[in-house]
């Protein structure tokens, strides 16, 4: 007579996929004027800009901060003027009346020579600064005075 073996426990199978590191990270920075810091760690292109924007928008809604600091220094931004126009419209439609200020901190090589994005978003109701200087970014974002439009 054969012995019955206890039922084997199923082992979790490796799915073959590694857990992806988050590419959009967000945290509230406590300071005299608190703000939400969002770090983007992926290339921003015509194909990814809407998805990345939606992730940032979701973080802004989740944290309910009025001032938002978007750090793009760990990514590459490869957008055309047309892409930036679309992004400016998305930002304005989502954030006008929701946030008080928006700062984009970029690598110097990712800031276009023509100052297009800042005035486009600012004129739509979201005061915006795009810079490669971290000190300028934090100063402008946390200043108590109203930014010039």
Measured distance between the N- and C-terminal CA atoms of the chain, rounded to whole angstroms: 89
pLDDT value of residue 22: 73
- What's the predicted TM-score (pTM) here? 0.80
pLDDT value of residue 65: 87
pLDDT value of residue 108: 93
Residue among 56, 71, 75, 146 nearest 104 (CA): 71
pLDDT value of residue 139: 95
> Domain 24-142 classified CATH 3.40.630.40?
no
User: In tens digits, what is the pLDDT along the chain, a chain of 149 residues?
Assistant: 555 555 555 554 555 555 456 788 999 999 889 999 999 999 999 999 999 999 999 999 999 889 999 999 999 999 998 999 999 999 999 999 999 999 999 999 998 887 888 999 999 999 999 999 999 999 999 997 665 55
Q: What's the angle, vertex CA 19, arms to CA 13 and CA 25, rounded to 5? A: 160
Give the whole-angstrom CA distance, residue 124 versus residue 109: 26
User: For the chain, what are the domain ranges?
Assistant: 24-142
Tokens of 84: 């930036």
pLDDT value of residue 149: 52
Give the whole-angstrom CA distance, residue 11 versus residue 93: 48
pLDDT value of residue 112: 81
Give the whole-angstrom CA distance, residue 69 versus residue 67: 7
pLDDT value of residue 101: 96
pLDDT value of residue 89: 95
35 close to 63: Cβ distance less than 8 angstroms: no
């Amino acid at each position: 007579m054969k012995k019955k073996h206890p039922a084997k426990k199923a082992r979790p199978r490796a799915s073959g996929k590694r857990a992806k590191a988050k590419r959009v990270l967000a945290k509230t920075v406590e300071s005299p004027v608190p703000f939400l810091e969002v770090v983007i760690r992926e290339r921003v292109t015509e194909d990814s800009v809407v998805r990345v924007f939606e992730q940032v928008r979701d973080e802004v809604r989740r944290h309910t901060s009025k001032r938002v600091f978007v750090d793009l220094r760990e990514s590459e931004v490869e957008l055309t003027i047309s892409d930036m126009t679309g992004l400016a419209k998305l930002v304005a439609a989502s954030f006008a009346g929701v946030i008080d200020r928006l700062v984009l901190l970029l690598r110097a090589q990712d800031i276009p020579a023509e100052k297009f994005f800042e005035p486009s978003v600012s004129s739509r109701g979201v005061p915006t600064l795009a810079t490669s200087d971290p000190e300028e970014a934090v100063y402008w974002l946390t200043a108590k005075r109203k930014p010039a439009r």
